[in-house]
Amino acid sequence: MRLIHTSDIHLDASFATPGMPAGFGNRRRQALRDVFRDVIQRTKEWPADALLVAGDLFELERITRDTVAFLKQVFESLGEIPVFIAPGNHDPYVPASPYATEDWPSNVVIFRKADWEGVEMPKIPLTIHGFAFDGAEISSNPFGNLQIPRDGRTHIAVGHGSEMGCLPPEKGVHAPFTAAAASATRLRYLALGHYHTLKGINAPFGTRMFYPGSPEGHSFRETGALCFLEVSIEQDEVDVRPRPSSRYIYLERRLDCSEFSTSQEVIDAIRGVAQTEGNNLIARIRLVGACQSSWHAEFNAIRHAVEPEFEFIDLVDELEPVEDYDQLAREETSLGAFVRQIGEEIDRSADERHRRMLQRSREVGIAAFRGHALPVRGLEQE
C-alpha cells in the first residue's frame, strides 16, 4: 500500500510581513499552489493508493473562490485515487467553510466530526480513520479514543493536533495528546498535521507517527528544504520517505565580519551564501563581530549590493564598532561626559532591548559629535 502524506499547506496565507518587497505575498501564495500541485502530480505518478491531507490545507478566513476552483481541479485530476482530508484549526469544518458549502469531486473524503470516523477503501483492505476540527478550537479531543477492530484490514489514521513530547517553541497547542495515548493496537500509521517541520515520533509502541511539516515554508521558523512523505506499508513494515518539495528556502545565517577590512569583503561573503545555497533564497543574515565604525554608514549600500542575489534578504546589523569607550569616557570633554553618562546607563540597564537601544544611541551620538554619517544598524531604511 502506498500513501502520500502532507499537511499545513495554508493556501491563501497572507505573508503580510513588514519590509517585504512589492508582490512578495503574491509570489509566495503562488509557490504554495505550485508545490501542492507537485504533491498531486507525485500522487498520480508513483502512483499512491491515497492522498492524506492532515489539516490546514487553506486559510479559512482568506480562501478565495479561485483557490476553491483550483483545489477541485487538482483533486479531480487524480481520477479514482481518493483524497482524505482531516480539517485542522485553520481550515475547520464549520457551516461557512468550502468543505461544507461546495460540491467536491467524488474521490474527495472530508472528515466532518470531532470524533474518529473510519472509511473502508473498497478495492484494497485498507481503512482510513480521521476527524475534523469543528472550530478554531476543537469541541472534543479524539486522540486516545481510537479503537481498531480485529478485522484483518490495514488501519491508518489522519488527524491534526499537538503531540506534547515534541512541541516546537512558540507553537500554539491544539488538540493536545501524547504519542503513547494516541497509539492504538493494530493502528499501523498515524498521519499528523500541525507542526510545520518534519518530525518522526520514535517511541516503544507499534504505531508509526509522523508530521511531514509544510511542503513549502511560510516564515523563518521553517528554514531549510521542506518535504511531504511517501509511506509504504508492506506486511509488518512501514517505510516512510521524505520527498523534497519546497520551491523557496528560508535561511538564517550569522556572518562574522571580524576579519574583514572592507565592506566589499562583507558583500562578497554574503554573495557567497547565495552561490552556495542555491536560488530562490529568503534569507536573514546577521552581521556580527567587530568592525570599522565607518561600515555602519555603508549598511544600505551593502544591502542594495546583495539584494539581487536573493528572493528576499533581511540583513541585520549586529556589528560592534571598534571603539575604546573607556578611553573616551576618561576625556574631560563634552564627548567624554556624554560617553560616561550613557555608559553608566548601559551598565545599570537590566533589559537587553533597552541596552541595545542605549548602545546604538551612543554610536549615533559619537558619530554626530564627530560630523560622521550616522550609523544605520537597521534602525533607519531608505
pLDDT digits (tens, 9 = 90+) for 54-63: 999 999 999 9
Q: Give 68's pLDDT tier (boundaries 50, 70, 90).
A: very high
- Rounded CA-CA distance 249/246 in Å is 7
DSSP 3-state of 23 = coil
The model's pLDDT over 268-288, given as tens digits with 9 standing for 90+, comes to 999 999 999 988 999 999 999
Instruction: Note the pLDDT of residue 262.
Output: 86
Mean pLDDT over 337-364 rounds to 89
pLDDT at site 294: 65
Say which DSSP state 319 is in. Answer: -
pLDDT at 44: 97
Decide if 300 contacts 381 (C-beta within 8 A).
Answer: yes
Cis upstream peptide for 142 (omega within 30°): no
SS3 per residue for 72-95 = HHHHHCCCCCCEEECCCCCCCCCC
pTM as predicted: 0.83
Within 10 angstroms of residue 100's Cβ, the number of other Cβ atoms is 13
- Cell of residue 270, nine digits: 554574503
pLDDT digits 0-9 by tens, 184-242: 889 999 999 999 999 999 777 889 999 999 999 999 999 999 999 999 999 879 999 99
Task: Check residue 300 and give its pLDDT.
Answer: 87
Question: Mutual orientation of helices 334-348 and 352-370 as an angle, nearest 10°?
Answer: 170
Output b/e per residue, 328-337; b: 16+ Cβ within 10 A. bbeeeeeeee
Position 79 pLDDT exceeds 90? yes
Q: Which residue has the cell 494516541?
A: 182
* Mean pLDDT in residue range 3-31: 90
| Average pLDDT, integer, range 150-163 | 96
Give the architecture-level CATH label for domain 2-244. 4-Layer Sandwich (3.60)
Give the integer Cα–Cα distance in Å for 166 and 223.
17
Domain ranges of the chain: 2-244, 249-370
Can you tell me which residue has the cell 496565507?
13
- Of 191, 181, 93, 201, the residue nearest 139 (C-alpha): 93
Cα–Cα distance, 249 to 216 (Å, whole number): 8
Look over the chain and give the mean of its residue pLDDT values, rounded to a whole number: 91
